[in-house]
Structure 1
């Protein structure tokens, strides 16, 4: 009983992958101003770089998830992290905004897409009783990455310029991400264990029903409702990651403090993933998922009226908490409903909803700003989207006999 349970090594690997992958992606806000300056691009067109990357890293899970179920998460994650590094390095050499689209959008987008769903899917198989906690710890890498990487990027831009900053980040992403991916393992049974480190005979009884096929899962009311809720919510949820720093600069907040606001989202996100995942295990993951949508709407309401550093910091931390809780709890809810047989594939299909929202939301907010010179309407639209998502999720996750294993 005192032996180290290898499932926690899988969690650590997933943490490192999400730290490097999403941390690199969310540095983009620190690069908006220099990219605009050097390439003479509008805010909307620069925002589209992030939207393209986001569409790919959530949307590509529909391919990487089934491949991970078949070939194992480790191979996909190593490939993904090398692509992230290559994309950032190539972005450092870009001579036009279109080349940034290609290098950053395709490299980071496809790279995170290759690694994220396989890594998170692998974690789900290693845990039952502590699945919410383990999932929360794994994806807390996104929060810590958002806390650490944008200030690091801003410091590198200040010291070296944006090109060398991308070069340094690319090398770090490839070395740390690919190295930690080696610790991923798809199935505890390959290590002679059941989930949570239980003996195999105990785990075999608990796993009498191996889970839904992909075709069965996507036809259920629960999946359709979760898909719709995540699609609508995602139109607004990634707007702050691109536009909070430019918004702060527009309100005469200095660049270093503006980038700290993005770090504050990361701080809140880390707290949300660490704390709320474990609480959801004890109090019910479905109600917590609905509460995350409502919480994001409430925090965005602060952003509508905030014009100085401290109100914006309060918004950033609170938004991060609820955003982090959403990302932590969602894979565990999927596992609860549909089992482990095809969990990576099902999560991958579900995340295509987030991909569409990520593609449309931040870029639409940027183009809306170009027209109106205000972020008010995009923020109000984001609030409405989160509230609608909460209502849909509440209807979709009502108890029924349609999906066994729901909490």
Structure 2
């Protein structure tokens, strides 16, 4: 009753949401699974094993995990635009140098730096900033911002595949670096903190009514749950393109179903963000994770490019809601003054999960020559996530109801 109405919130918040969506599309589309288009070209050029090439992506994700913790703490104390400018510059420079790399360790080091200083600055701090602009409807706002990431995760490998086909992997990586610089640096200047709005005397801020659970219980539980969900979702993100290439004997066209999957994920991120506003963050997260886990093994039943085109958007809609559920849940359970650092801490386990999922996918492909165990393990990871977040939901149910 006493809280500010949505109509009284500054209209600039939608500039923040839009800029955040574009930044996440470029940065996270490149770092999370942009390398999937480079797996086969790097394997053919250098003669490395699939697991060794997939580990380049894993190095970047480990970098995001560690960098997100440190830069999340920094973002709670310094202007967001400075953190974003650091991330934009470091990501672009690392990609530019990686285009000239000739040794495996160089790729590992450069993608780790791109993740730690680039992705670490451009994910948790940006998501926390979006949430800070909204006292009401934060689920929808975060869903819209994270939808940009889903679009980027489809567009970047799709575009990179055709760039590689028209030129070579080095030129494609150089062009990605240049595009990152000319887009992310200007957008960083838009990222500012919301104006302070204390309201009239006696006003109760929305953040103070959020469930105040012990971080000693909540953060470890959320972190382990995110580790499971991200290890599972990393498998189709990193290995769907080579799976389609192997099953259907196609080239760059294999990026098409992945793009469609991530376009569907845009709708999923927005839908489950709105659903979180309606039924609560953890309920929304559970529904999306169940959707993703149930359909994971379906990829192994497909045998034609047409079947991949039909199946991937169905999977993608539910998959898209998982990260929205994670982000809105962290916002709901973390104090406002520590949201960037809490988001960075929990998401560190998410990026470690991505690294684990992508690497194990390449490893089991190398030792079996097929992708069965890759996707079976992804299903097991999803079940672990469901068990943990389900237990946390049941343990906090009375307080969750009070908050909603």
Per the TM superposition, whether the score is higher than 0.5 is: yes
Give 2:58's aligned residue. 51
1:313 aligns with one of 309, 313, 321: 309
State the 1:165 CA deviation.
Answer: 0.9
1:3-402 correspondence to structure 2 within 5 Å: 5-25=11-31, 26-189=33-196, 193=197, 200-201=199-200, 204-207=203-206, 209=208, 217-220=214-217, 222-398=218-394, 399-400=396-397
Distance across 2 between alignment mates of 1:322 and 1:208: 28
State the 1:395 CA deviation.
Answer: 1.2
8 Å CA contact 1:69, 1:342 repeated in 2 = yes
Spell out, residue by residue over 1:70-119, the C-alpha distance to the aligned partner (whole angstroms, 9 max, x if none).
Answer: 11222111111111111111111112232222223322453111221100
Closer, same or farther: CA 34–48 of 1 in aligned 2, 3 Å:
same
Distance across 1 between alignment mates of 2:207 and 2:235: 43
Instruction: Give TM-score scaled by structure 1 length.
Output: 0.90
Distance across 2 between alignment mates of 1:229 and 1:392: 6
Distance across 2 between alignment mates of 1:208 and 1:383: 35
Closer, same or farther: CA 130–44 of 1 in aligned 2, 3 Å:
same
8 Å CA contact 2:248, 2:303 repeated in 1 = no
- The 10-residue stretch of structure 1 (34-43 or 302-311) with the greater mean CA deviation from structure 2: 302-311
Q: Name the SS of the counterpart of 1:254 in structure 2.
A: coil
- The 10-residue stretch of structure 1 (62-71 or 17-26) with the greater mean CA deviation from structure 2: 17-26
Distance across 2 between alignment mates of 1:162 and 1:208: 47
Distance across 2 between alignment mates of 1:288 and 1:266: 19
Distance across 1 between alignment mates of 2:188 and 2:202: 26
State the 1:229 CA deviation.
Answer: 1.2
Q: Count how many residue pairs are aligned between Structure 1 and Structure 2.
A: 396
Closer, same or farther: CA 256–403 of 1 in aligned 2, 3 Å:
same
Spell out, residue by residue over 1:160-194, the C-alpha distance to the aligned partner (whole angstroms, 9 max, x if none).
Answer: 211111111101111211211111123331xxx47
State the 1:406 CA deviation.
Answer: 4.3
Give 2:4's aligned residue. none
Distance across 2 between alignment mates of 1:313 and 1:150: 16
Distance across 2 between alignment mates of 1:66 and 1:352: 13
8 Å CA contact 2:25, 2:149 repeated in 1 = yes
Spell out, residue by residue over 1:252-292, the C-alpha distance to the aligned partner (whole angstroms, 9 max, x if none).
Answer: 33112211122123212111112221232123222110111
8 Å CA contact 1:253, 1:309 repeated in 2 = no
Distance across 1 between alignment mates of 2:400 and 2:69: 22
Q: Name the SS of the counterpart of 1:219 in structure 2.
A: helix
Give 1:197's aligned residue. none
Q: Name the SS of the counterpart of 2:208 in structure 1.
A: coil
Closer, same or farther: CA 143–127 of 1 in aligned 2, 3 Å:
same
8 Å CA contact 2:262, 2:316 repeated in 1 = yes
8 Å CA contact 2:289, 2:318 repeated in 1 = yes
8 Å CA contact 2:66, 2:116 repeated in 1 = no
Closer, same or farther: CA 47–269 of 1 in aligned 2, 3 Å:
same
Instruction: Give TM-score scaled by structure 2 length.
Output: 0.91
Gaps of 5+ in 2: 1-6
8 Å CA contact 1:68, 1:344 repeated in 2 = yes
- Structural RMSD (CA): 2.4
Gaps of 5+ in 1: 195-199
